Structure 1
Amino acid sequence: MSQHAPAFARRVLGAFAAAVIATAATAAISQTLNVYNWNDYIDPAVIERFQRETGIAVRYDVFESLETLEAKLLAGRSGYDIVVPTNEPTFSRLIRAGALQPLDRAKIPNWGNLDRTLMQRLDRSDEGNRHGVIYLWGTIGLGLNPARIREVAPDAPLDSWDLLFKPEHASRIARCGITMMDSAIDVIPTVLHYLGLDPNSTAEADLRKVEQTLMAIRPHIRTFSTGGAIEQLATGQSCLAFAYSGDAIQAADRAQEAGQGVEVKYVAPREGAQLWFDVLAIPKDAPNAEAAHRFIDFLLQPEVIAAVTNHVAYPNAVPASKPMIEPDILADRNVYPAEQDFARFFTIGAVPQAAERARSRMWARFKAGR
Structure 2
Amino acid sequence: MRKSSAFLFGLAAVMFASVGVQAAEEKKLNLYIWSDYLGEDTIARFEQETGIKVTVDVYDSNEMLEAKLLAGKSGYDLAVPTGAFFQRQVQAGVFRPLDKAKIANLANLDPKLMKSAAAFDADNKHGIVYMWGTDGIAHNPEKVAAAAGKDAPVDSWALLFDPKWAQKVSKCGLYLMDSPSEVFPAALKYLGLDPNSNDPKDLEKVEKLLMAVRPYITKFHSSESINALANGDICVAMGYSGDMFIAASRAEEAKNGVKVEYNIPKEGAEMWFDFMAVLKDAPHPENAMLFINHVLKPEITAGISNKVFYANANAKATDLVDKSISGNPAVYPTEAVLNNLFVKKTPDQKAERLRTRIWNKIKTGK
Same fold (TM > 0.5): yes
Equivalent pair of 1:192/1:206 in contact (CA under 8 Å) = yes
Task: Please report how far the alpha carbon of residue 30 of structure 1 lies from its aligned counterpart in structure 2 after TM superposition.
Answer: 4.5
The correspondence for 1:219, drawn from 215, 221, 233, is: 215
The correspondence for 1:102, drawn from 97, 105, 111, is: 97
Aligned counterparts, 1:251-290, within 5 A: 251-290=247-286
Aligned counterparts, 1:58-69, within 5 A: 58-69=54-65
Equivalent pair of 1:29/1:57 in contact (CA under 8 Å) = no
Task: Please report how far the alpha carbon of residue 192 of structure 1 lies from its aligned counterpart in structure 2 after TM superposition.
Answer: 1.0
Task: Please report how far the alpha carbon of residue 44 of structure 1 lies from its aligned counterpart in structure 2 after TM superposition.
Answer: 3.9
Task: Please report how far the alpha carbon of residue 194 of structure 1 lies from its aligned counterpart in structure 2 after TM superposition.
Answer: 1.4
The correspondence for 1:71, drawn from 61, 67, 70, is: 67
Tell me what 2:17 maps to: none
The correspondence for 2:111, drawn from 116, 132, 135, is: 116
Deviation by residue 1:250-308 (Cα, 9 ceiling, x = unmatched): 00000111111110011001110100001000111111110001100110110010000
The correspondence for 1:330, drawn from 319, 326, 346, is: 326
Deviation by residue 1:143-181 (Cα, 9 ceiling, x = unmatched): 111111111111211111111110000101100000010
Tell me what 1:193 maps to: 189
Equivalent pair of 1:29/1:55 in contact (CA under 8 Å) = no
Task: Please report how far the alpha carbon of residue 28 of structure 1 lies from its aligned counterpart in structure 2 after TM superposition.
Answer: 7.3
Q: Structure 1: which amino acid aligns with 2:93? A: G
Task: Please report how far the alpha carbon of residue 48 of structure 1 lies from its aligned counterpart in structure 2 after TM superposition.
Answer: 0.3
The correspondence for 1:153, drawn from 148, 153, 160, is: 148
Q: Structure 2: which amino acid aligns with 1:292? A: A
Task: Please report how far the alpha carbon of residue 340 of structure 1 lies from its aligned counterpart in structure 2 after TM superposition.
Answer: 2.5
Equivalent pair of 2:32/2:59 in contact (CA under 8 Å) = yes
Q: How many residues align?
A: 344
Distance in structure 2 (CA, Å) of the matches to 1:171 and 1:199: 25
Task: Please report how far the alpha carbon of residue 198 of structure 1 lies from its aligned counterpart in structure 2 after TM superposition.
Answer: 1.3
Tell me what 1:5 maps to: none
Q: Structure 2: which amino acid aligns with 1:92? A: Q
SS in 2 for 1:175: coil
Distance in structure 2 (CA, Å) of the matches to 1:114 and 1:271: 30
Structure 1 gap segments, 5+ residues each? 1-23
Tell me what 1:139 maps to: 134
Equivalent pair of 1:184/1:360 in contact (CA under 8 Å) = yes
Task: Please report how far the alpha carbon of residue 106 of structure 1 lies from its aligned counterpart in structure 2 after TM superposition.
Answer: 0.5
Equivalent pair of 1:28/1:56 in contact (CA under 8 Å) = no
Structure 2 gap segments, 5+ residues each? 1-19
Q: CA RMSD in A?
A: 1.3
Q: Structure 1: which amino acid aligns with 2:59? A: F
Deviation by residue 1:17-60 (Cα, 9 ceiling, x = unmatched): xxxxxxx9xx9794110000000110241100000001110010
TM-score, with normalisation over the residues of structure 2?
Answer: 0.92
Equivalent pair of 1:266/1:334 in contact (CA under 8 Å) = yes
Residues 1:313 and 2:276 aligned together: no
Tell me what 1:174 maps to: 170
Distance in structure 2 (CA, Å) of the matches to 1:352 and 1:338: 32
TM-score, with normalisation over the residues of structure 1?
Answer: 0.91
| Percentage of pairs with the same residue | 47
Equivalent pair of 1:28/1:55 in contact (CA under 8 Å) = no
Distance in structure 1 (CA, Å) of the matches to 2:53 and 2:128: 22
Deviation by residue 1:54-78 (Cα, 9 ceiling, x = unmatched): 1110010001111111011111111
Runs of 4+ off more than 2 Å: 27-30
Deviation by residue 1:106-129 (Cα, 9 ceiling, x = unmatched): 011010110111111111111111
Distance in structure 1 (CA, Å) of the matches to 2:26 and 2:126: 27
Equivalent pair of 1:28/1:54 in contact (CA under 8 Å) = no
Task: Please report how far the alpha carbon of residue 322 of structure 1 lies from its aligned counterpart in structure 2 after TM superposition.
Answer: 1.6
Distance in structure 1 (CA, Å) of the matches to 2:292 and 2:356: 33
Tell me what 1:49 maps to: 45
